[in-house]
Chains A and B, each alone.
Chain A
Amino acid sequence: MTEMTLVQAVNRGLAEAMRQDPDVLILGEDVGVNGGVFRATEGLFKEFGADRVIDTPLSETGIVGAAIGMALYGLKPIAEIQFLDFIYPAFDQIVSELAKFRYRSGGQYPCHVVIRAPYGGGVKGGLYHSQSTEAYFAHTAGLKVAIPSTPADAKGLLLTAVHDADPVMFLEPKRIYRSVTGEVPEGDYRVPFGEVRVVREGTDVSLFAYGAMIPSSVEAADTLAKEGISAEVIDLRTLVPLDERAVVASVEKTGRAVIVHEAARFCGFGAEMAAILAERAFYSLKAPVARVTGFDTPFPYALENVYLPGTDRIVHAARATVRST
């Protein structure tokens, strides 16, 4: 075990995957010589060379399209998109091609590409270095969506992604790239997809979150505890596949649910969560489901702290949920 930051754990996960399998390679902008703008690929160019850590021209559709071609041929490419905000030139490749290759070929052409992209706000990145648009990808059949919130999960989920047989959107919460540290096991280990992490057990209300909203939710749970409210904090880890059983089981226990995400509320992932709870946990609910989310505005620069759900908003929503009954 070694103590490290989340972005270092991503780096160790990439190195581990590349050492295991010569078919694993990385492509993206500034990933090679420069080691990535967030340093996620630091040292990999030196260790694995220019053939396996490929600096590409500035074209997201080119990066993802080329990665798809490599995967069809049998390699295991990991494409880095510098910021999730810049992924849209590749949206057609991801949604129309990558997600559908296995299905549209009747299973003849699996297409296993891992797309890594830092996402989310809190780094003074303004409109175009801050967004959380995971719902677009969770909505698209054929894609898996993983979002780590700890260094150990970052490495373990990434290794699972690389060994999966299907395309994975691996979204990294850049706000906590360096602010969160933790023990990370050496070598190969896999954190399975579709299994939540119970961050903290509780009995009065379930806080469901992922990525950078986990530390805020834990802090909120601390505050609530002082008021005598026992909050359970659940890290979803993967939005697709979603551990629906664990989500429902938690609400069957607590009777209350607060869903927390940075993304805008309307049609955000919280809407799917609320629908699942309405369908499957309706008779366990003691209070309406609450959502604490970004606003339905573009992501603001100077006022990002107004936009982003903070501990206070989570506490407020959880408290209201508990006190309403």
Chain B
Amino acid sequence: MVYVTSVPRVSAVGIEETSELSPSARLEAYRWMVTARVADERCLSLQRQGRIGFYAPLAGQEAAQVGATLALRPEDWVFPAYRELAVALVRGVPLSEIFDQLVGNSRDQIKGRQMPNHFGFRAQNFVVASSPIGTQITHAVGSAMAAQRRHDPIVTIAFFGDGATSSNDFHAGLNFAGVFRTPTIFFCQNNQWAISLPRERQTHSATLAEKAKAYGFPGFVVDGNDLAAVYRTVGEARRRALTGEGPTLIEAQVYRLGPHSTSDDPHRYRSDAEVAEARLRDPLHRLKTELLATGQLDETGDQKLWESIRAGVARAIEESEQVPPLDPHTVFDDVFAVPISRLEEERADYDSLVRNGGSKP
């Protein structure tokens, strides 16, 4: 269900005008969500085996990510945080390209420059992520200002978590967006935990969405486990952006079922009972139940779906692991468009060191 926070102007917004997810799109969404869940499980295990260096799981956030991304168009610009694997999938990034980044091989589009999960795919308008929290929020606003200037009918969307709502760039970004009425969607996945800090310690506000009121535009709270509701809400925000009504903040309430990352042990700060309770609202179960009820899926079909996705994910991982490693000399590339002389000298020094056996290539 979707409800609107107590922002007076919001009552004028007609959520019901926007289109619903078609039955076939729901099935497609389920496929993406299962793919993300399988990738998640495999990546946690790959990290434990030392085959990838790090991973930030998204389990529990699949409906929010898939629903939001399905409501976008390819020409829209996505500014992700580092937990947006399902967003990348729905944008059309092949699994193999995601695994190339997680492994950091010579086919990795970002050339092994960043930790796993911090990928970027220009062809899918999926801007490269970084680790500082919230910094992409102002970028999404700036790109939206540029699109306004060029009269491009697109929106930009920033993905971030509950923790990011305390960041400088959340405030600066939403403030700029309000002032310049930018076509921006601020999509907050409130997964209740910023590493060890619970949502109620992040802010004393009753909701995160209501913060939009201070910036002069509406905020919505949406059940992030409800795929259709997320799709509808983002679709409405997109419509608002394109018709000049300005930005929208959406708080998708979800639960981070796994650890913050492979470096985190959530047992230190939350109870198993709390997680077990959240698992009852697992977005995958919820959508599966709906698909079973409408007859779009049966148990056998579901089993086959999981099996075929597991096989596809395993193949993609194997393939990425076969790709040769990066050429060490690429470490000097892409600092500038044209290397400055100091970098050329450092590259030459490194070359001669390698040639003389002073460093292993």
A interface residues with partner B (beta carbon < 8 Å): 25, 51, 56-57, 59, 61-62, 64-75, 77, 89, 92-93, 96-97, 100-110, 141-142, 144, 165-166, 194, 240-242, 244-245
Contacts and interface: CB of A to CB of B under 8 A. Distances in A.
Contact of A108 (B77, B110, B333): B110
28 contacts: A61-B138, A61-B172, A65-B135, A65-B138, A65-B142, A72-B139, A72-B142, A93-B138, A93-B169, A96-B131, A96-B135, A97-B135, A100-B130, A102-B337, A103-B335, A104-B120, A105-B122, A106-B110, A106-B111, A106-B120, A107-B333, A107-B334, A108-B110, A109-B127, A144-B336, A165-B336, A165-B338, A242-B342
A72 B340 contact: no
B122 to A, nearest CB: 4
Interface residues of B, number: 48
A69 B168 CA distance: 16
Contacts of B135: 65, 92-93, 96-97
A62 B173 contact: yes
B111 A67 contact: no
A42 to B, nearest CB: 23
B145 interface: yes
Contact of B142 (A68, A108, A110): A68
Contacts of B111: 106-107
Given A96-B130, A108-B122, A141-B335, A65 B340 contact: no
Given A104-B128, A107-B111, 7 more contacts: A51-B149, A61-B168, A65-B172, A69-B143, A102-B334, A105-B120, A241-B342
B306 interface: no
Nearest to A109: B128
Between A69, A75, A105, A240, the greatest number of chain B beta carbons within 10 A of the residue's beta carbon is seen for A69
A49 B118 CA distance: 38
A37 to B, nearest CB: 20
Contact of B138 (A68, A104, A141, A244): A68
Nearest to A62: B172
Nearest to A103: B334
A72 B127 contact: yes
Given A102-B335, A102-B336, A66 B130 contact: no
Given A62-B175, A104-B114, A106-B110, A194 B341 contact: yes
A65 B149 CA distance: 17
Contact of B146 (A75, A141, A241): A75
